[in-house]
Structure 1
Amino acid sequence: MPYKTQEMVVVTGTSSGIGRATAEQLAAEGFHVLAGVRRQEDADKIKQKNIEPVILDITAIDTLRALAERVEQDPLGRPLRAVVNNAGIAVNAPLEMVPLDELRRQIEVSVIGQVAVIQALTPALLKSGGRVVNIGSVGGKISMPGFGIYSAAKYAMEAINDSLRREMSSFGLKVIMITPGGVSTSLSEKGVMTADRLSKLMTPDQHRRHDRLFDAVKEQAESWATSGISPKKVAEVVSRAIHASNPRTRYTAGRDSAMLTRLVRILPDKLLDRMLRSQMKLQ
């Protein structure tokens, strides 16, 4: 694709997993990808044809300003086709004992940081008639035992995604939510590490109540890490959302996501509670 017609895409959280797969997918399709990473070593690993790593911490306003300036002052005048909001973390622990600082960290990265990226790049997206693609989760549709903090962030992004779409539709900005189910990424592995760390903070009474739940959370995360769909499958869905002239407002990725998003709309709460507890072997 000649540079005079090439478009840019910003993808956050590209050091691994969905972000990296998406950056590589879009670069192979001819987009110039500004790939957000937090560390120089990750930048060195992802740099390749059509991928330009940018040091980006979505919780640090100075790096967001630098990103917006990079997009606005592109030397080849390439328009910004899309921003893919992917960066995030997973804090998984029983709500009774999760440290409030961990709750704040989850919301800071996975909600406030996402909004900060959107705010920083909205002028460029409006100028180009681009689109926002938010990477959500089935956890934003259904909250499993032990995953309440992570789900809180994903539920929040569902609300933000819907509100933004309705606010900006008359200005030509398309807003899309991608909802993966279980994905084989390092986020699951990091979630297990976080659960291990937090489990050591419990009181003896909390251990009696929640040791089995912690085990179930780790088993569930490990299951996603080994049997979830590949990040490339999610990247292909993102690609469809970016290429579509009239994209849907939301896309699922993975059979479990398609199934659970339907079930949550039709099953009574108590039946859904029993189903989820049974799935996690908590009864």
Structure 2
Amino acid sequence: MAQISKYLLFTFEILNEMYAALGTGAVGLMCLIKFGFQKSALLKTAAVCAATAASFIYIAPESKKIKPNKKKVVCITGCDSGLGFSLAQHSVDLGFTVIAGFLSLDSKGCKELRKSYGNNIIQIQLDITDSVSVNAALKTLQHFLGRNEGYTLHAIVNNAGVMVFGEFEWLTENLIQQQVNVNLLGTLKFTNAMCPLLRQYGGRIITITSHCSQVTLPSLAVYGATKAALAAFSDGLRVEMAKYGVNVITFIPGSFCLQSNIMARQLQNVQEMHDNFTQEQHSFYSDYFKRFNIYLSFITPPPMPVKIQDEKMYKIYEETLLDETPKVVYKNEDIRYLIYHTLFKISPWFVRDYLVVKFMSMPSYTPSKSLKTSLLEYAEDADL
């Protein structure tokens, strides 16, 4: 028991120091490391082992790469703006033939790509929630591959998605269904239709998930649930498709809300939530709902679709397409995301929840009246 207590105390001290370092930032982390080297032989040994392992990783040969060319076709969904708009351009620049799906062929993103890339990006109308649209896209792909000898379907990139920011109680049935239908059911529908072609050509399935698939954040409960479901779906599908020579990959591209249109409809969504509040909800959430959405209003999408500026993200995306033996998950994250998400995984739930709140940095709920008072006023107004 004494030995167990010793190990538990040691673990507690390590976690305590990590949280202290996180709270004080880079300076605190540097002081912690300096103190550790002065006082702990164990830390010195661990540092030497880590440096040795890093050296081996650095000098180890990279996995073999596939050479892109125009006979390898990449089909990407959701190219009207944001990530899909950016990945379509990058894939063409790498040398692939790109078939880009647009919710509307009259969208700003579609027109911009047509202007910049002409016929180098083949544009199709694609609504992944609509079976007729998905089947039309499948026939277009089959026709294109059939009449171009030597062309193969190298990959589909499941990118189309929508995100609604708001506490779960605020979301209308329409806003919940919209996220489930596009992010999850639409992706499943499109992937299912493409499976025969992927088997025929030995292609790969790249599904865009999110850090929310690993830790679902408050105000993004439904969005996170759909992304977590996609990650689970990919886990099962990967094993199924491996025996047919089809690789299944998930790609976490990082955060770039200010460069994306994923929140383009947030103002309309807020109005829909507000209009569907009950009288009690208006009374209860009034000030908090207002402050919450004023805060979000500063995250404004660009007026025109722009290519995301993140060289690291593109580098990792290239690996999903070009690694001959791809990894299961590819992730793009900065140091802040890495530290927080590591602590989310190893912390007790009450510490984890506190860190999630700090990570989100959203306006806090400060009740102006007690719940009892609010309910009494609601009862009086309703003549109960």
TM-score (norm 1): 0.88
CA contact (8 A) 1:13 1:20 kept: yes
TM-superposed deviation, 1:193:
4.3
Alignment match of 1:268 (pick from 348, 358, 376): 348
Structure 2 residue identity aligned to 1:282: S
- The residue type paired with residue 53 of structure 1 is Q
Aligned to 1:39: 104
Q: Which of residues 148, 157, 173 is equivalent to 1:76? A: 148
Deviations 1:202-241 (A, max 9, x none): 2343243475266446636845969xx7466534422221
Is the CA contact (8 Å cut-off) linking 1:213 and 1:282 kept in structure 2? Answer: no
Secondary structure at 2:180 match in 1:
helix
TM superposition outliers: structure 1 runs of 4+ over 6 Å: none
Answer whether contact 1:199 1:214 (CA < 8 A) is retained. Answer: no
Report the aligned-residue RMSD: 2.6
Does structure 1 retain, via aligned residues, the 8 Å contact 2:237–2:248?
yes
Contact 2:249/2:320 (CA < 8 Å) preserved in 1? yes
Can you give the 5+ residue segments of structure 1 that lack an aligned partner in the other structure? none
Deviations 1:230-265, CA, capped at 9 Å, x for gaps: 466534422221111111111112315444442332
In 2 relative to 1, CA 12–214 (structure 1 residues): closer, same or farther, beyond 3 Å?
A: farther
Q: 1:280 aligns with which of 353, 362, 378?
A: 362
Aligned to 2:274: 199
**8 A Cα contact 1:185 1:231, kept in partner:** no
Q: Is the 8 A contact 1:138 1:260 kept in 2?
A: no
The alpha-carbon distance between structure 1 residues 23 and 5, as it changes in their structure 2 partners (threshold 3 A), is closer
Task: Name 2:13's counterpart in structure 1.
Answer: none
The separation in 1 between residues aligned to 2:92 and 2:300, in whole angstroms, is 27
Q: Counterparts of 2:286 and 2:240 in 1: how far apart (Å)? A: 42
Output the CA distance in 2 between the equivalents of 1:171 and 1:240.
21
Secondary structure of the 2:155 match is: strand
Asked which structure has the greater RCO (Cα within 8 Å, sep 6+), the reply is: 1
Map residues 126-165 of structure 1 onto 2, 5 A cutoff: 126-165=199-238
> Which shows bigger deviation, 256-265 or 98-107?
256-265
**Separation (CA, whole Å) in 1 of partners of 2:271 and 2:310:** 25
The answer to whether the 8 A contact 2:100-2:123 is kept is yes
Is the radius of gyration larger for structure 1 or structure 2?
2
For residue 118 of structure 1, the aligned residue among 187, 191, 196 is 191
Aligned match of 1:100 in 157, 169, 173? 173
2:324 is the counterpart of 1:249: no
Q: 1:267 to 1:219 in 2, by over 3 A?
A: farther
Deviations 1:25-66 (A, max 9, x none): 000111110000011223333222521110101011111111
Contact preservation (8 Å) 1:11, 1:86: yes
Alpha-carbon distance change, 122 to 211 in structure 1, aligned in 2, over 3 angstroms: farther
Note if 1:62 corresponds to 2:132: yes
Does the 8 Å CA contact 1:22/1:236 hold for their aligned counterparts?
no
- In structure 1, the residue matched to 2:295 is 219
Instruction: Find the residue that maps to 1:36 and give its secondary structure.
Output: strand
How many residues in Structure 1 have an aligned counterpart in Structure 2?
A: 279
Q: Name the structure with the higher helix share.
A: 2
CA contact (8 A) 2:161 2:183 kept: yes
Determine the C-alpha separation between the residues in 1 that align with 2:290 and 2:316.
32
Which runs of no fewer than 5 residues in structure 2 stay unpaired?
A: 1-67, 303-307, 366-384
| Deviation for aligned residue 1:195 | 3.1
Counterpart code for 1:274: Y
Letter in 1 for 2:140: R
User: Is the 8 Å Cα contact of residues 192 and 218 (structure 1) preserved in structure 2?
Assistant: no
Q: Flag the 1:235–1:212 CA change in 2: closer, same or farther, 3 A.
A: farther
| Structure 2 residue corresponding to 1:10, chosen from 55, 72, 75 | 75
1:239 corresponding residue in structure 2 = 318
- Mapped contact 2:70–2:95 kept (Cα < 8 A): no
Tell me: CA distance 1:217–1:117, structure 2 relative to 1, closer, same or farther (3 Å): farther
TM-superposition CA deviations, 1:117-168 (whole Å, max 9, x none): 1111111111111111111111112222211111111111111111111221
Q: Is the 8 A contact 2:199 2:245 kept in 1?
A: yes
8 Å CA contact 1:90–1:106 kept in 2: the answer is: yes
Once the two structures are overlaid, the 10-residue window that deviates more, 49-58 or 66-75, is: 66-75
Partner SS for 1:187? coil
